[in-house]
Amino acid sequence: MVFFLEQLVNGLTVGAVYALVALGYTMVYGVMRLINFAHGDFFMLGSYVGFTVLVKVMENAALPLWLTLILTTVIALASVALLGVFVERAAYRPLRKSSRLTAVVSALGVSIFLQNAAMLIWGARYQAYPPWASPTAKWIIGGVTLSLMQALIMGVSLVLMVALYLFVQKTTVGAAIRATAIDHDTARLMGIDVDSIIRLIFLIGPGLGAIAGVLLGLYYRQIHFTVGWAYGLKAFTAAILGGIGNIPGAMVGGLLLGILEMLGAGYISAAWKDVFVFLILILLLMFRPTGLLGERVAEKV
């Protein structure tokens, strides 16, 4: 039982990161019907910006740790969100009227560009977050180890996800996002500025990715310019699992994926965990192609 609970905690931690990244996929898909393959790289850039801020600025700033972490996250969030808007303007907007395939190819191009840019800026080596930045406290509750970092990751993700959900469901801007997701032209007729809605989506998605990136760096400490691809693929799977285009779906998908992975690795074999994850994805696509919570896309198609 202790073993099971331990895997559950580990799974929820990994799943929370997947979920944060998956939100970016799902929001962009929901509004633009575009699978933004560069999204994983925004996540990667977030972890690198966080790394640079910690090493170059915060090391000498002598601020309390909590303030350091908040400032680092905010800087990473802001710079990656701005980059997201810029990428949308440069690589996606000119192609909005073209076929969907063109936009996907453009997204892949952006992904390769960002990865290589990161390699040239920060070098091809693994970089490691400074040890002083990660809180090391941990609790052992009934034999189950829960570290402060794990709690932090789960807590931050939960707060962000609830906030995003409320924002989309309860505010006027949220209603405009939902309307744009259903139909761009009709939304425009209703007086919604579709361009600024899309810009907003590209602020929020990469921004959330950047926060996940900083959390990842603090938790595992090791970062690399290829990390975006690996996590991007998992998050993309999580988005599909929950039903792409569906915000609560991405959260459920991410958490579920994390838990499945950890239980697979814990009880069967770590070498096989990706096999189980993608097997479940294939079964899901065969029997419930819209994902667990995804009805809206099916409705539209």
Partner 1 sequence: MKKNRSGLLLLVLMVFALSLGVAVHAGPEPIKIGLQAPITGPWAYEGEMARNSVQIVADEINRAGGILGRPLEIVLGDDQGSPKQSALVAQRMLSEKVVAVVGTYGSSVNDPASAIYERAGLVNIAYGSTAEKLTEQGRKFFFRTCFRDDRQGSFFAKFATDTLKAKRVAIVHDNTTFGKGLAEAARRPLEAAKKADLVFYDAITPGERDFTAILSRMGKTNPDVLYFTGYYSEAGLVIRQMRTLGIKATFVGGNAAINDEFVKIAGLDMAKGALMTQEPLPKDLAYPESKSFLAEYQRRNKEIPSSPWPVYAADGLKCIAAAIKAAGSTDSKKLADYLHDKLEDMPGITGPISFDEVGDREGAIYLAYQVTADGKFVPLQ
CB of 6 to partner 1, least distance (A): 6
The residue ranges that bind partner 1 (CB under 8 A) are 3, 6-7, 10-11, 13-14, 116, 119, 123-126, 128, 131, 138, 145, 147, 216, 220-222, 224, 226-227, 230, 261-267, 269-271, 273-274
Considering the complex, state which of residue 146 and residue 293 has its C-beta at the smaller distance from partner 1.
146
Indicate the SS3 state at residue 140: strand
Considering the complex, state which of residue 37 and residue 202 has its C-beta at the smaller distance from partner 1.
37
8-31 CB burial, b ≥16 within 10 A, e <16: bbbbbbbbbbbbbbbbbbbbbbbb
Considering the complex, state which of residue 147 and residue 199 has its C-beta at the smaller distance from partner 1.
147
The helix-helix angle for 148-170 and 2-32 (nearest 10°) equals 30
CB of 123 to partner 1, least distance (A): 8
Record the tokens describing residue 222, joined without a space: 């090791």
Distance CA 264, CA 252 (A): 18
Considering the complex, state which of residue 104 and residue 145 has its C-beta at the smaller distance from partner 1.
145
Q: Based on C-alpha coordinates, what's the Rg of the chain?
A: 19
CB of 295 to partner 1, least distance (A): 32
Q: Output DSSP code: residue 134.
A: S
- List Cα–Cα distances, 104 to 45, 92, 157, 211, 288, in angstroms: 20, 9, 28, 24, 24
* Pairing between β-strand 127-128 and β-strand 222-223 as defined by DSSP bridges: antiparallel
Query: 134 near 65, Cβ under 8 Å?
Result: no
CB of 267 to partner 1, least distance (A): 8
Considering the complex, state which of residue 108 and residue 147 has its C-beta at the smaller distance from partner 1.
147
Considering the complex, state which of residue 22 and residue 227 has its C-beta at the smaller distance from partner 1.
227
CB of 229 to partner 1, least distance (A): 9
CB of 224 to partner 1, least distance (A): 7
- 39 sits in which H/E element: helix 39-52
Considering the complex, state which of residue 156 and residue 179 has its C-beta at the smaller distance from partner 1.
156
CB of 192 to partner 1, least distance (A): 40
Query: 251 near 239, Cβ under 8 Å?
Result: no
Distance CA 279, CA 174 (A): 35
